[in-house]
Amino acid sequence: MRVLLIEDDATLGRALQEFLTSQGYAVDWLADGKRALLAIKNYSYDLVVLDLNLPDMDGLEVLQTFRLEGRYIPVLVLTARDALADRVAGLDAGADDYLSKPFELDELAARVRAFARRHLGTVVPIVEFGSIRFDTVHREIRVAGELLTVSVREMSVLEMLLSRAEKVVTKQQITQALSAMDADFSENAVEVYIYRLRKRLEGLGVAIKTIRGFGYMLELEA
């Protein structure tokens, strides 16, 4: 899932970018509203995490601007403005969720995971396919009851394949979901993660099939 973080505080912005990246998301971090609007226009995002106190324009103005342009992207507002009137104004402007500062990183992670499940079409906390059981809340994958140890990126790729099991997921979809503006991530990297996952799933009744010219599909072995 690709996330746009809009936060003008350099220390907090860097910390949140690093934290969300560690959770398996591709995160672009911008510190002002005008650049954020350009990014939203030119890139595809699955979630915007928006601070309201920006240096060049109010965060609500940023939100209202791209909503009026007809762009629907889920928005999680982060702000120190915790009065009821401020929360109502944010939701009325088009925000989907609201988190008041200061907040715990665990709570932020839980909110973002909820958006990720919606994005992937997963409305239940447990996704099962064959011998695979993926706990989307605690971020654990078990195969035949045994914990499968994978990297954050491998987990993100497998999550995409699980969410569309027995359907094709293209290399482009995976690349876009895992790429950030300043990250060197390519379709060749996708092939590496697919190779590693195949090795981990060998003999477990589930396989990743290559659909030449298109991408990959998770399927049960005969």
User: What's the rounded Cα separation, in Å, for the pair 80 and 52?
Assistant: 8
Pick the closest to residue 73 from 81, 63, 82 (CA basis): 63
Dist. CA 117–CA 128, nearest whole Å: 14
CA 58 to chain centre: 25
- The radius of gyration computed from the CA coordinates of the chain, to the nearest angstrom, equals 19
Q: What are phi and psi of 93, to 5 degrees?
A: -75, -10
Closest to 168 measured CA to CA, from 220, 221, 216: 216
Query: Considering Cα of 72, then 76, then 80, then 84, what sign does the dihedral take?
Result: positive
- Which structure tokens are listed for 110? 């839980």
Dihedral of alpha carbons 149, 202, 160, 162, sign = negative
Dist. CA 45–CA 48, nearest whole Å: 7
For the entire predicted model, the pTM comes to: 0.72
Beta-ladder partners of 64: none
Instruction: Say what the pLDDT of residue 219 is.
Output: 95
> Residue 183's pLDDT is what?
63
Given the DSSP bridges, would you call strands 97-100 and 126-129 parallel, antiparallel or unpaired? unpaired
For each of the chain's 222 residues, which pLDDT tens digit applies? 889 999 999 999 999 999 998 888 889 999 999 999 999 988 888 899 999 888 888 888 999 898 888 888 899 998 876 667 777 777 777 788 888 888 999 999 989 988 887 766 655 678 899 999 998 877 889 998 889 989 888 998 998 899 899 999 998 888 888 777 656 667 788 899 999 999 999 988 999 999 988 899 999 987
pLDDT, residue 38, reads 92
